[in-house]
Amino acid sequence: MNKNSTRLDQFNNNHFQRGASLSKELLWMLCSSLFFRHSLAISNSLKISILRLFGAKVGQGVLIKPAVTIKFPWKLRIGNHVWIGENAWIDNLDTVSIGNHACISQGALLLCGNHNYKSPAFDLITGPITLEDGAWVGAKAIVCPGITIRSHAILTAGSVATSNLEAYTIYSGHPAKIVRERKID
């Protein structure tokens, strides 16, 4: 039996770069509550304008459904004609880049942070997430830190991406494994 143990009282997050001042972050939390994180249908163009105001790079034709959580808009890059479904959560402690014509379905979680289970202090570790053009993250699927979902790959509903997904390939399961090739007619 290993005598080492987790020591959460030693957790130190000082190395983490939030990327904005405390006042900007507090203002974002207020705007997020008012315009993003509830089920009311708020003007999509207003949501896009607010994201851009807070530093997000957002392309044309982006659709953001109600009840979407975005941690830090200044760490978000969204291409053209992207769909983000209800209750999606972009927990972008690191950069999240979403390519053109990508889809994040309802309840999906893009998770840029985790903890080092080997460290007694349970240190925070982060990694960027990239969804290339045409990628689709299915409903209630999870994308883990540091993952790239290549062009037109699909992570099916409820699946968990713990490694990169190859282009034009469909993945399913926990952890996600290749199911078949994606063919677009």
Query: Does residue 8 lie within any of the structural domains?
Result: no
> Predicted confidence band at 14 (pLDDT cuts at 50, 70, 90)?
confident
Least confident piece of the model among 11-25, 46-60, 85-99, 126-140: 11-25
pLDDT at 12: 73
Query: Does residue 91 lie within any of the structural domains?
Result: yes
Report the number of distinct structural domains present in the chain: 1
Range of the domain at 110: 21-181
Query: Does residue 10 lie within any of the structural domains?
Result: no
* Residues facing 98 on adjacent strands: 78, 131
pLDDT at 1 over 60: no
Query: Does residue 11 lie within any of the structural domains?
Result: no
Helices 22-35 and 44-53, axial angle in degrees (round to 10): 180
How far out from the chain centre does Cα 170 lie?
19
pTM for the full model?
Answer: 0.92
Least confident piece of the model among 13-17, 48-52, 142-146: 13-17
Query: Does residue 7 lie within any of the structural domains?
Result: no
CA-wise closest residue to 94 among 165, 16, 28, 158: 16
Instruction: Identify residue 36 by its one-letter amino acid code.
Output: F
Query: Does residue 172 lie within any of the structural domains?
Result: yes
pLDDT at 2: 59
Query: Does residue 60 lie within any of the structural domains?
Result: yes
Query: Does residue 14 lie within any of the structural domains?
Result: no
Q: In this structure, what CATH number is given to the domain that contains residue 154? A: 2.160.10.10
